[in-house]
Amino acid sequence: MSDLPKRVDIHEEGPREGIQISSRALATEDKVRFIEALAETGVAEVNCVSFVNPKRVPNMADAEAVAAQLSKQDGVRYSGLWLNRGGFERALRSGLDLAGLILLSASEAFSIANTGKGTEDTIAEQRAMLARYSEASIPVEWASIMTAFGCNFGGDVPVSSVVSMAAKAVDLAAEQGIVLRGIRLADTVGWATPASIEKVVSAVRERWPSLRVGLHLHDTRGCGVANAYAGLRFGVDQFDSSCAGLGGCPFAGHKGAAGNVCTEDLVFMCEEMGVSTGVNLDRMIECAQMAEEIFGAPLPGKVMHAGTLARFRKAGS
């Protein structure tokens, strides 16, 4: 197992991915205490809110209030998501830890369905956003390629399309004098298997050996943790994941676009295999239990229900 990375960064997506898709109206104070608890687990970043149209995503109407009420810990990034200029300007006033992201889709059909813009228009928009980030002194370190493993609107996505779109992102960054740190590949609608993870990740790493590769995985069809493992084998060292398996993409075109890969299940696997996440698993399980209480429903995480192995090891020693 010597080819697994020694250490990975976990970006917690539960507050954003989970709350934006929830049909239950959640109280601002519950969102705040959930984010604050997550920030105490040791994750590198908590994605707190999205600055999107409150008519489309009513649970994000209080994004500014959530950001304002947070008591922040040192050593954790409290991030937010935006999809356009208007969202960015809101994010900029929120006081969150912003980082610009170059956001492209490997499938043009998804881009059109998701934002109404094709690839060329999206690139032009991203170029304008990069100029705005520069003006606002907001750093840009990663590009994210959506639908990198398949698309509900465009079908299978060739590896060459992912590499080509990643190249456009690298070029866009270079135009602004930015050297990217990494490329995040998103299985936006849950098509990936370990085999496609291997193919796409190895193609991207071969083309850009000095860039980190991250994965944003959904567990739509049960392969989420397996896909994370396949990524680890090929040097992926950053994962987006959701506490308790919260989440799903409300615009993905079908209601089964279920949650992100579950943070505590991913942390369990990594730590058991000797891959350090920096995350305190017991605290993350407490957050998952808090999420079930706040959301008022059983959530799909497994380790939160089964518990860790610690008590059995103690009994067996």
Rg (CA), the chain: 19
Comparing C-alpha atoms, which of 228, 257, 295 is closest to residue 31?
295
Minimum CB distance to a copy of itself smaller for 126 or for 227:
227
Shortest Å, Cβ 195 to a copy of itself: 4
- CA atoms in the 13 A half-sphere facing the CB of 155: 0
Minimum CB distance to a copy of itself smaller for 80 or for 150:
150
Residue 99's Cβ-count burial label (10 Å; 0-12, 13-18, 19+) is middle
Comparing C-alpha atoms, which of 40, 34, 43, 37 is closest to residue 15?
34
List the structure tokens of 251: 């615009």
Minimum CB distance to a copy of itself smaller for 58 or for 118:
118
Kindly compute the dihedral angle of the four CA atoms of residues 161, 166, 170, 175, in this order, to the nearest 10 degrees.
50
Shortest Å, Cβ 50 to a copy of itself: 23
Instruction: Using DSSP, state whether 174 is helix, strand or coil.
Output: helix
Shortest Å, Cβ 263 to a copy of itself: 10
Question: Which residues of this protein are in contact with a copy of itself, per CB under 8 A?
Answer: 1, 4, 109, 150-156, 190-191, 193-196, 198, 219-223, 225-226, 228-230, 254, 256-258, 262, 265-266, 268-269, 272-274, 300-303, 305-307, 309, 312-313, 315-317
Query: What proportions of the chain, in percent to the nearest 5, are helix, strand and coil?
Result: 45, 20, 35
Shortest Å, Cβ 259 to a copy of itself: 9
Shortest Å, Cβ 241 to a copy of itself: 11
d(CA 240, CA 9): 9
48, 249, 262, 270: the catalytic one is 249
Instruction: Using DSSP, state whether 55 is helix, strand or coil.
Output: coil
Q: Please say if 249 is a catalytic residue.
A: yes
Find the helix or strand (DSSP H, E) in which 66 lies.
helix 63-69
Minimum CB distance to a copy of itself smaller for 1 or for 25:
1
Q: Could you give phi then psi for residue 17, rounded to 5 degrees? A: -65, -40
Shortest Å, Cβ 260 to a copy of itself: 13
Instruction: Using DSSP, state whether 111 is helix, strand or coil.
Output: helix
Minimum CB distance to a copy of itself smaller for 79 or for 227:
227
Shortest Å, Cβ 216 to a copy of itself: 17
Centre a 10 Å sphere on the Cβ of residue 115 and count the other Cβ atoms it contains.
Answer: 16
**DSSP label at residue 211:** S
Q: What is the DSSP string of 228-256?
A: HHHHHHTT--EEEEBGGG--B-TTSSSTT
Minimum CB distance to a copy of itself smaller for 88 or for 234:
234
d(CA 65, CA 5): 38
Minimum CB distance to a copy of itself smaller for 96 or for 258:
258
Q: Give catalytic residues, as residue numbers.
A: 249
